[in-house]
């Protein structure tokens, strides 16, 4: 990190976030089969987009891939999300989504929850209200995808 950046910028743009932005994990496409679901979400005001694919077998996320275009926050968040959710039960995944959403809305307890793993590095985003929607875009796709895989049942 630099000498020029202010403390809030250093808190926002942590190395871990920049690393996931520059080297996204699980970026790519799954070969669609009867167990894969796909959701495409866009933020119309800024143009950020994410196409998320899940392969769900026996209520467990067996594989997860995404393609996306957008800011460092939206792309790092979906990349981190994908590493945490691979192999998780859907109910656990819904829980992670709820905790992360809570953290984005300033829940300090959520920001300390080990279940969020690397995603905790995004806690600083909650101080930038206009960027919160960027961080949540991937989770929006996730929740839609999980509902779809359960035939419409929410978590």
Partner 1 sequence: MPMASPATRPTPAPGPEVRTGPSGERPGGSGPELDVEAVRAHFPILHQEVNGNPLVYLDNAATSQKPLAVIEALEGFYRRDNANVHRGLHELSRRSTERYEGARGHVASWLGVEDPGEVIWTRGATEAINLVARSWGDSHLSEGDEILLTELEHHSNLVPWQMLAARTGARLRYLELDDQGELILDELPRILEGGRVRIAAISQVSNALGTLNPVAEIARQVKAHGGLVLVDGAQGAAHAPVRIPELGVDFYAFSGHKMCGPTGIGVLWARRELLEAMEPYQGGGDMIDEVHRDHSTWAQLPYKFEAGTPNISGAVGLAEAVRYLNAVGAERILAHEQRLVRRTMEALEAMPGIRLFGPSDPARRAGVVSFTMKGTHPHDIATILDSEGVAIRAGHHCAQLVMKRYGVAATARASFYLYNSDADVDRLVESLATVQEIFG
Binding site for partner 1 (CB under 8 A): 1-6, 8-9, 12-13, 18, 22, 45-49, 69-73, 75, 128, 131, 134
3-state secondary structure of 63: strand
Residue number, 16 or 46, with CB nearest to partner 1 = 46
Least CB distance from residue 142 to partner 1, whole Å?
21
3-state secondary structure of 53: strand
Least CB distance from residue 19 to partner 1, whole Å?
11
Residue number, 12 or 145, with CB nearest to partner 1 = 12
Least CB distance from residue 18 to partner 1, whole Å?
7
How far apart CA 128 and CA 149 sit, in angstroms, is 33
Query: Which segments of the chain are extended strands (E)?
Result: 36-42, 49-57, 60-69
Residue number, 112 or 127, with CB nearest to partner 1 = 127
Indicate the pairing of strand 49-57 with strand 60-69. antiparallel
């Amino acid at each position: 990190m630099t000498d020029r950046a202010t403390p809030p910028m250093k808190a926002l743009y942590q190395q871990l976030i920049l690393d996931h932005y520059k080297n996204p994990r699980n970026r790519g496409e799954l070969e669609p089969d009867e167990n894969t679901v796909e959701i495409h979400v866009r933020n119309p005001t800024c143009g950020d987009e994410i196409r998320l694919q899940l392969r769900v077998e026996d209520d467990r996320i067996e594989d997860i891939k995404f393609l996306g275009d957008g800011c460092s926050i939206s792309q790092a968040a979906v990349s981190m999300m994908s590493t945490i959710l691979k192999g998780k039960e859907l109910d656990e995944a819904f829980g992670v989504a709820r905790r992360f959403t809570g953290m984005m809305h300033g829940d300090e307890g959520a920001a300390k929850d080990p279940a969020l793993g690397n995603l905790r590095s995004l806690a600083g985003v909650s101080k930038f209200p206009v960027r919160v929607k960027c961080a949540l875009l991937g989770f929006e796709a996730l929740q839609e995808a999980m509902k779809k895989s359960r035939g419409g049942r929410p978590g």
